[in-house]
Chains A and B, each alone.
Chain A
Amino acid sequence: MKPAVPDWVVEGLPPLNARTVLSRGQKLTALLLALLLALAFAWRPYGTFLALNVGMIVLYLVFSYYKLFLQFRAMRSPPGAPPPAVAGDEALPRFSILVPLYREESALPGLVAHLGSLDYPPEKLQILLLVEEDDAGLRAVAERLRLAPPFEVLVVPACLPRTKPKACNYGLRQARGDLLVIYDAEDRPERDQLRKAAAAFAAAPDSVVCLQARLNFYNRDRNLLTRLFTAEYSAWFDQCLPGLYLLDAPIPLGGTSNHFRLGTLRQMRGWDAFNVTEDCDLGIRLYILGYRTGILDSTTWEEATFRVLPWIRQRSRWVKGYIQTWLVHMRQQRVMLRDMGAGRTAQFHLLFGATFFCLLVNPVYWLMTLLWFTARPAFISEFFPLWVMLAGLVSFIGANAAFVLASMLACLQRRYFHLVPTCLLIPGYWVLMSLGAWKGALQLIWKPFFWEKTPHEAQAALETAP
């Protein structure tokens, strides 16, 4: 039985959404593909496996080349001069800040202090703390803090789905700004970020309806995991996303610090409440409708998950959301091809489909590599004829090293010099990524809308934020 979902959530959903994991057509297609594959295996097992192997290696090579191209493209083009600031506070647009919160009592005081210190006229600000109805602890802390405008506590009805986008959509209905931004509880945006966003929106054409700020971590030196996580974030937010921007490709938004033109966001019905990476989905929807996302040259400092199991849980949610997003937009292939063009549709598939697919398949190839170096079983040699072996070797020796190098370069660019040697350990981090991917993929079957909440320490964040 489908869980009860209130009407306001259903009515607010975008036409294509993740509430249905697989459409009927997708189920039929999947079934047909599985059948064809089974028949092919029964008919020509060797040929089928070889064809799959060749396809996978080609995918690896294309995906690696694409990701590296994005990074190097961004490195070649340093950010241009910032747009001129908006003249006079009175000319600044009204800004609504949405902060979805759930059981984050310890983070609230620091968050309030930091948001309160943002460099933006308070009369132009509306800070909506989105508190869940059943989160009595957080509501009590909020009451104790005696919050005054621009802070407002908005109680989100306790209902399904228990996701952040549902809370954000509820907040969107109450937002009164011209612009809107999302922050998480542990976020520490640079104090002038709102002014920069306002200036960037003023200078940008109307088609730019979203700006993604760069995300990075204030607790990057906490342990090895946070160092590697920082290297990954630096590569993604400082290089890959700017690379996508420079290629005029769809940009998967990054969780928090997305600044929007509020009117357009409302027209688009906000976020998909059933998608656990609602931000990525929104980035694609924006693009298909002809809107664009820019990159804001300002950083929001977050807390990196520093324990392995919570990290895997967080990653599983991200990968699950990537799969959801890919499946949702696969239902409108024709629209994508028509509105985005073949090249950008291919980039969408690389960004979403190939990302999770490679993460899922990686362990199989690692195992085969290990087997080949240790036991050299004959079947591996059979499945890797010379040209396939050569391509596999390029992928193994070249592409993997290039990814490590790209992480090192990302740290250099961020001036995290002490993290550069740590990047040599990043292949171990890929193992964790694949574990998270498998967890997410399996969870999509059993608990598709379950939100893996990431615990945060949130202690002394205010003091440690740069």
Chain B
Amino acid sequence: MSRSGAASDTATARVSFLFATGASFILLAAIMASQAAAEGIGLLVRIRAAVLADFLAGLPIGRQALVSSCRLLPLPSFAALPFVPFLPAHGYGYACRYGTALVAALNTLPLAGLLRRWPRMPAWGALPAALLLQAAGAAWLGAAGAEDLLACLALLATARFLEGETAIARRALSGVFYGLALLTHPAGLAAAGLRLLAMAARHAGRRRAGAGQRAVDFTRLASVTYCAAILLFLNWMIMRDPFYPLRHAHRGIPREGEVAPALRELEQALDGPLAAFMPVASGHWSHLARPLLAARRGTGFIDFHPDKLHAGEPRSPLLIVPRADTPLFALADVTRVPGALLLTQTPRWRFYLVPRPAVAAGGGSSGVLEF
């Protein structure tokens, strides 16, 4: 191919690429923004937004919340960061939505490539079909408050697309996208795990897998393992337990309608006989109760320990734990607190009196190191 011919092809490809990417971005952002305007921001996005605000404020709870949940995996929060400078702190929910839209939009072209491999798909139809799928996904999942699932599916689509490529290096690259999906949504975790199992089964079934296939699988395995290791490493560094997210992995997520009644009940309890105590929340649910806690000069943690409390607080700490049969329990940290005594309970909550902080002098707060 001549240099001018190649340059012209490159220019055409660049224009198509820019057009397709631009169209994807505009469509997704518009759909997500309209969803947000119409129905308010979903539960998970609200938590993510609060986590992001804490994280950017440099609070330990922000760092901890960012990495410590299997349900709220860190990649969508990181994807929101580019939008943060353009938004006020109360608009971080939009940053989170646009973050997931960004991840999804970046994967529109591979999705189109994947659709193009379908024998009945005309060449001209792949990109519109991909845009339509993304838009439908954004509308449906956005309405269901599961934007991160959209980003995860888009990453998995890219992984599948790369797996079907002829160039060996591009096939191997699919592992990166399985790894990123793993850091986005639990579905990605499952998909990456299943993919690794399938690879293992293939090698077990075909003892003499070709050297090329073995090398490709090794590269994929290394990518997925590395992404998983990042999560474990961050948890080891921040939570002091690499497997912390797995503690609550089996629990579901409350529905939007279940949260408000629980918080109303909590508000009533705290304004009644428990008003003299300092309310303390532990777990990701504390981000949902942030205004409620702040109004009562309470505080929230991801994994509460009495030694993390400020020693100068005159009120006795009151640990609030959602009851096991209630929806918010899914977002609670239930690590046993040494010396905690059950004080009272309501249909949805238990209230524990916990010992005062061990450190008394100098206003110091913690005998437990917090990253």
A positions within 8 Å CB-CB of B: 75, 78, 80-81, 205, 246, 386, 390, 397, 401, 405, 408-413, 415, 417-418, 420-421, 424
Q: Is the CB of B169 within 8 A of A75?
A: yes
When distances are taken between beta carbons in the complex, the residues of chain B under 8 Å from A408 are 172, 219, 222
A390 to B168, CA, bound (A): 33
Residue of A nearest to B6 (CB): A80
Q: Can you give 9 contacting A-B residue pairs, CB < 8 Å?
A: A78-B167, A80-B1, A81-B1, A205-B3, A390-B81, A408-B172, A417-B211, A417-B212, A418-B211
A249 to chain B, nearest CB (A): 14
User: Which 9 pairs of residues, A with B, have the shortest CB-CB distance?
Assistant: A417-B215, A409-B169, A417-B211, A420-B215, A80-B1, A413-B169, A412-B169, A408-B219, A412-B168
When distances are taken between beta carbons in the complex, the residues of chain A under 8 Å from B64 are none
A386 to B6, CA, bound (A): 44
When distances are taken between beta carbons in the complex, the residues of chain B under 8 Å from A75 are 167, 169-170
Q: Is the CB of A413 within 8 A of B56?
A: no
**B292 in contact (CB, < 8 A):** no
- Indicate whether A397 sits within 8 Å of B1 (C-beta atoms), given known contacts A75-B170, A412-B168: no
When distances are taken between beta carbons in the complex, the residues of chain B under 8 Å from A417 are 211-212, 214-215
**Chain B, 234-276, contact with A by CB distance < 8 Å: what is the 0/1 string?**
0000000000000000000000000000000000000000000
Contacts A81-B1, A417-B212, A424-B222 known; list 11 others, CB within 8 Å: A78-B167, A386-B56, A405-B223, A408-B222, A409-B169, A409-B173, A409-B219, A412-B172, A413-B169, A415-B212, A417-B214
Residue of A nearest to B81 (CB): A390
**B182 in contact (CB, < 8 A):** no
B102 to chain A, nearest CB (A): 15
B45 to chain A, nearest CB (A): 21
A298 to B176, CA, bound (A): 31
When distances are taken between beta carbons in the complex, the residues of chain A under 8 Å from B226 are 401
A420 to B176, CA, bound (A): 15
**B218 in contact (CB, < 8 A):** yes
B positions within 8 Å CB-CB of A: 1, 3, 6, 10, 55-56, 58, 81, 167-170, 172-173, 176, 211-212, 214-216, 218-219, 222-223, 226, 230
A81 to B5, CA, bound (A): 13
Q: Is the CB of B230 within 8 A of A397?
A: yes
Q: Is the CB of B219 within 8 A of A412?
A: yes
A64 to B261, CA, bound (A): 50
Q: Is the CB of A421 within 8 A of B218?
A: yes
A420 to B169, CA, bound (A): 11
Of B3, B55, B176, B215, the contact of A412 (CB 8 Å cutoff): B215
When distances are taken between beta carbons in the complex, the residues of chain A under 8 Å from B211 are 417-418
When distances are taken between beta carbons in the complex, the residues of chain B under 8 Å from A78 are 167
A343 to B331, CA, bound (A): 50
A273 to B172, CA, bound (A): 44
When distances are taken between beta carbons in the complex, the residues of chain A under 8 Å from B55 are 386
Residue of B nearest to A415 (CB): B212
A408 to B226, CA, bound (A): 14
A78 to B168, CA, bound (A): 12
A205 to B7, CA, bound (A): 14
Residue of B nearest to A239 (CB): B169
A411 to B214, CA, bound (A): 13
Residue of B nearest to A204 (CB): B3
When distances are taken between beta carbons in the complex, the residues of chain A under 8 Å from B168 are 412-413, 415
When distances are taken between beta carbons in the complex, the residues of chain B under 8 Å from A405 are 173, 176, 219, 222-223
A424 to chain B, nearest CB (A): 7
Q: Is the CB of B218 within 8 A of A420?
A: yes
Q: Is the CB of B219 within 8 A of A420?
A: yes
Q: Is the CB of A386 within 8 A of B58?
A: yes
Residue of A nearest to B223 (CB): A405
When distances are taken between beta carbons in the complex, the residues of chain A under 8 Å from B81 are 390
When distances are taken between beta carbons in the complex, the residues of chain B under 8 Å from A390 are 81
When distances are taken between beta carbons in the complex, the residues of chain B under 8 Å from A410 are 169
When distances are taken between beta carbons in the complex, the residues of chain A under 8 Å from B230 are 397
A246 to B55, CA, bound (A): 41
Q: Is the CB of A409 within 8 A of B6?
A: no
A411 to B218, CA, bound (A): 12
B89 to chain A, nearest CB (A): 14
A462 to chain B, nearest CB (A): 26
A217 to B223, CA, bound (A): 27
Residue of B nearest to A401 (CB): B226
A82 to chain B, nearest CB (A): 11
B259 to chain A, nearest CB (A): 29
B94 to chain A, nearest CB (A): 20
